[in-house]
Every structure is written in C-alpha cells, then in structure tokens.
Amino acid sequence: MVVTGASRGIGAGIAERMAAEGADVVITARTLEQHDHLAGSLQETAARLARYGTKVGIVVADLTDEADRARVIPEAAEQLGGHVEILVNNAAASIQKPLDGFSTKRRNIMFEANANAPLDLSLAAIPAMRDAGEGWIVNVSSDSSKLWPGPPAEFSPTAINISAYGASKAALNRLSNGLAMEFYGTGIRVNTVQPRAAVLSEGAAELVGATLRPDQIESMEAMVEGTVFLCDCPADFTGQITVSLDNIERFGLTVHNLDATPQ
C-alpha cells in the first residue's frame, strides 16, 4: 500500500497501523530527515514501521509538482515488488487566509496538493488495480468542505480563513465520488474519510490547537480506525463521503492503538 503525507500526523498513524496489521507500506512526503519547524520525518516513520517486520519503502516527492508526483506509484510498485493494492491520499496543504487578498499562487498550491495530486495518483494506480480485480483508494478530506448556511448565520472569526482550503477538499470529495462511479464493477473502491472533530497532528496543533476545547478534538487512534476500515471495505461500499467516528459507530468498530492492540 501507499500512504501519502506520512512523515507525521494522520498519514504516519495510518501507515503504522497498517504495518502493524501486516501490510507492506510505502510512505511518501517531502520531508526525508527533518522539517524546518515541525516534528516528524519519513525516516522516523519508517523506523516505527520497521518493528512490525513488514516491507517498508520510502518515496520522497513534492506532490504539488506534477512531474514529481508522477514518480510515486511506479517507484512504490517497484519497492513493493508488485502493484499498489491500497492507496491512501492523506497529504494536504492548508493555507488559511480570507479569500480577499488570497494569492493565486497559494490557491494553486492547495488545489495541486489536495485535489490534483490525489486524482493523478489514483489514476496511476487504477490500471493495475483493475487488472487485479480489486483495489482500495481512500482520500482524506475535511469537514471544511461543507457549505456555510450563508449570512446572517453565525460563524467564528477564523471561519472565513478556511474557504479556499475547504473548496479544495470539496473538489476532492467530488472527484472521489466520480472515480467510484466510473470504476464501479471493477472491484475498485474509492471513498473519502474526514474527522468529525479536529485531530491534533503536528500541523493542526500549530494551526488551531490553542483555540480548541476538549470536545472539539478527536483522537488520532479514532481517526485511523475510521480510515483503516475503508482500506478493506466490501466492493459495494464505494463513492461514499464518510466521517471517521460515524464509521466507528455505524459498523461497530473497536478503536485500536496504532500498534493494532485494542484500547
């Protein structure tokens, strides 16, 4: 399987849980050794995964660059020794500013990372999945994709900062749904998952951590549980825009630690 954005946060958590479950995992991100201000790197994630005894590969890539991301699936398949059966598009760019004055360059970065990259990686992985008769694509989305009810509805002062980010995630939801429709009947499942509350990954903690109440925070383990379910869902469960905690409640899932032991 391939997990993008796995140098830290949700991506690293998903990769660890899947390795603990016995999966061979290729992780990809920009940060191989050390980020300039955030904790976590591909090497650190790979070291955690290595203790489970499965195959672990690394592809360093900037997913906002079309040529760079074109390497990911072929290089991952080479390291896995076979095609990519499961693709988790977790990597994201979040630049939070009001639309008024938001530069085109910044918008483009977010749409490249949050919509175009997941689509391109999915299209690269799908031919081999189709030949094999099955495959799983999970795109990590966000509650910010939902529409505001419109004025004069109340909203927090920071809410106006997420419109561009939310638009990129809304695009991801629509693309995921469209891929599921196009490839229905081939055994390929395409779904999205988003947290119901904030998951305080390293990046999220820096952006919004200080502003959140405890009831606005979701555990990393719960988010991972609601995601891992989609990595082995049945063939007729596809095209769905899901929420992590809703998946846990709807399907009676037991939340596990990242090492796959029950909590």
Question: Residue 148: what pLDDT?
Answer: 85
The structural domains of the chain, with segments of one domain joined by +, span 2-251
pLDDT value at 212 more than 70: no
User: Which residues are CB-neighbours of 80 under 8 A, at least 6 positions away?
Assistant: 24, 26, 55, 57
Alpha helices by DSSP H, 140-219: 163-182, 202-208
Based on the number of CB atoms within 10 Å of its own CB, is 143 exposed (0-12), middle (13-18) or buried (19 or more)? middle
Task: Return the structure tokens found at 58.
Answer: 């690394």
Length of the chain in terms of residues written = 263
Based on the number of CB atoms within 10 Å of its own CB, is 102 exposed (0-12), middle (13-18) or buried (19 or more)? middle
Which one is predicted more confidently, 200 or 53?
A: 53
Q: Say how far residue 39 (Cα) sits from the centre of its chain.
A: 18
pLDDT value at 202 more than 60: no
Question: Residue 156: what pLDDT?
Answer: 72
Question: Residue 217: what pLDDT?
Answer: 77
What is the C-alpha to C-alpha distance for residues 223 and 246, in angstroms, rounded to an integer? 10
User: Which residues are CB-neighbours of 94 under 8 A, at least 6 positions away?
Assistant: 110, 165, 203, 207
pLDDT band, very low/low/confident/very high, at 139 (cuts 50, 70, 90): very high
Scanning the structure block, which residue is given the tokens 């509350």? 197
Which one is predicted more confidently, 156 or 150?
A: 150
Based on the number of CB atoms within 10 Å of its own CB, is 48 exposed (0-12), middle (13-18) or buried (19 or more)? middle
* Full-model pTM: 0.93
pLDDT value at 206 more than 70: no
Scanning the structure block, which residue is given the tokens 């391109």? 120
pLDDT in tens, 7-16: 999 999 999 9
Question: Residue 216: what pLDDT?
Answer: 67
Question: Residue 259: what pLDDT?
Answer: 97
pLDDT in tens, 25-74: 999 999 898 766 677 899 999 999 999 999 999 999 999 999 999 999 99
* Sign, CA torsion 155/207/106/175: negative
pLDDT value at 158 more than 90: no
pLDDT band, very low/low/confident/very high, at 155 (cuts 50, 70, 90): confident
- The mean of the pLDDT values for the chain is 92
Q: In terms of CATH architecture, what is 2-251?
A: 3-Layer(aba) Sandwich (3.40)
Of 88-102, 110-124, 201-215, 246-260, least confident by mean pLDDT is 201-215
Of the candidates 99, 55, 108, 61, the residue with the CA atom closest to the CA atom of residue 78: 55
Q: What percent of the chain has pLDDT over 90?
A: 83
C-alpha count within 13 angstroms, C-beta hemisphere, residue 148: 15
pLDDT value at 214 more than 70: no
Active-site residues, by number, are 165
